[in-house]
């Protein structure tokens, strides 16, 4: 269908725009001696999640907030169930204790907060939404997390400067040779906007043509497309025996989706939680929580068998969720 092709094309433009913007921004940062810690945490972290962010911003601005919700939450579920499962099936992943102690609890906290904030509406007899006040709370939590992370990275780097490369999470800064980085950033932003417009319009048209809610398209179509950078990054990292990076990329992306992508959408226009949305949030929480017992029972290793089960669980969830729609 033409609308489905439009979604694929829009997502491809989004991914290309995000990559172009990250390369240009990284080159600008290195030319101005910006700390690798800041580059790795902010520029690269933002770059891998920029497709989700742009889709949600445009979706919220054009009144397609349910699609924005489905994209953010669907990306989180796909990252943990499908992408992490596929990566672990290809190359077993070592779960670092630092992720279990800090990032995973934060992700569980963020998901719990979103669920509670969304439920306050129905409790008071109103629709379930993520409003502006809710969004400010979530962004405040993210700001605190970034502050603590920067302090921790500075402490680690001060002990061993050779470890500063860990903060980059990518080779993009070291290998960038862009001659016109500002033009690359501007071109990347333009592509992100264009890709977001095409994706949103095509998604709405596709949902209308087959008679399903836009939230479902966001949950299982748009979210899978915008999660492709995370899939590529995780697989490459795992093949390079950098399994901590593979897991960190997924968990970090989910934190960004929960504490930046979704609340930014809520600041632009309240995000309506669609029918079944609370269940989607719970499923996202379950996929994250299950990594903790896997860490202790599997001696810190996410093997091929568990990876395959995670993929099967994601597919089963998708089938059940789609059956509920029709």
| The pairing of beta strand 93-94 with beta strand 301-302 | antiparallel
DSSP codes joined into one string, 81-116: IIIHHHHHHHS-EE--HHIIIIIHHHHHHHHHHHHH
Above 80 in pLDDT, residue 216?
A: yes
The residue behind tokens 């306050």 is 120
What is the pLDDT averaged over residues 313-318? 92
Above 70 in pLDDT, residue 34?
A: no
Instruction: Give 114's pLDDT tier (boundaries 50, 70, 90).
Output: very high
Instruction: Give 224's pLDDT tier (boundaries 50, 70, 90).
Output: confident
CB count within 10 Å of CB 94 equals 17
The SS3 of residue 43 is helix
What is the pLDDT averaged over residues 242-265? 82
Instruction: Give 193's pLDDT tier (boundaries 50, 70, 90).
Output: confident
DSSP state of 301: E
């Amino acid at each position: 269908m033409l609308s489905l092709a439009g979604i694929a094309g829009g997502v491809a433009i989004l991914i290309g725009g995000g990559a172009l913007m990250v390369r240009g921004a990284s080159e600008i940062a290195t030319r101005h001696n910006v700390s690798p810690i800041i580059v790795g945490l902010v520029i690269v972290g933002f770059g891998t999640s920029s497709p989700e962010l742009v889709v949600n911003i445009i979706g919220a601005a054009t009144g397609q907030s349910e699609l924005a919700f489905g994209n953010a939450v669907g990306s989180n579920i796909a990252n943990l169930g499908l992408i992490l499962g596929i990566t672990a099936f290809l190359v077993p992943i070592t779960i670092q204790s630092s992720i279990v102690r800090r990032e995973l609890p934060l992700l569980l906290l963020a998901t719990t907060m979103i669920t509670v904030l969304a439920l306050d509406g129905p409790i008071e007899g109103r629709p379930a939404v993520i409003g502006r006040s809710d969004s400010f709370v979530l962004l405040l939590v993210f700001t605190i997390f970034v502050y603590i992370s920067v302090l921790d990275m500075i402490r680690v780097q001060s002990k061993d400067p050779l470890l500063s490369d860990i903060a980059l999470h990518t080779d993009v800064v070291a290998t960038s040779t862009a001659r016109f980085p500002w033009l690359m950033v501007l071109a990347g932003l333009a592509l992100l906007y264009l890709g977001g417009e095409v994706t949103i319009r095509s998604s709405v048209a596709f949902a209308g043509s087959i008679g399903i809610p836009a939230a479902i398209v966001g949950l299982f179509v748009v979210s899978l497309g915008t999660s492709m950078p995370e899939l590529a990054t995780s697989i490459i990292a795992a093949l390079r025996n950098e399994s901590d990076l593979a897991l960190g990329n997924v968990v970090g992306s989910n934190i960004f989706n929960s504490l930046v992508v979704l609340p930014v959408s809520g600041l632009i226009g309240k995000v309506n939680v669609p029918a079944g949305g609370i269940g989607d949030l719970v499923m996202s929480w379950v996929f994250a929580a299950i990594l903790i017992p896997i860490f202790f029972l599997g001696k810190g290793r996410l093997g091929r068998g568990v990876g395959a089960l995670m993929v099967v669980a994601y597919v089963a969830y998708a089938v059940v969720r789609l059956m509920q729609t029709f």
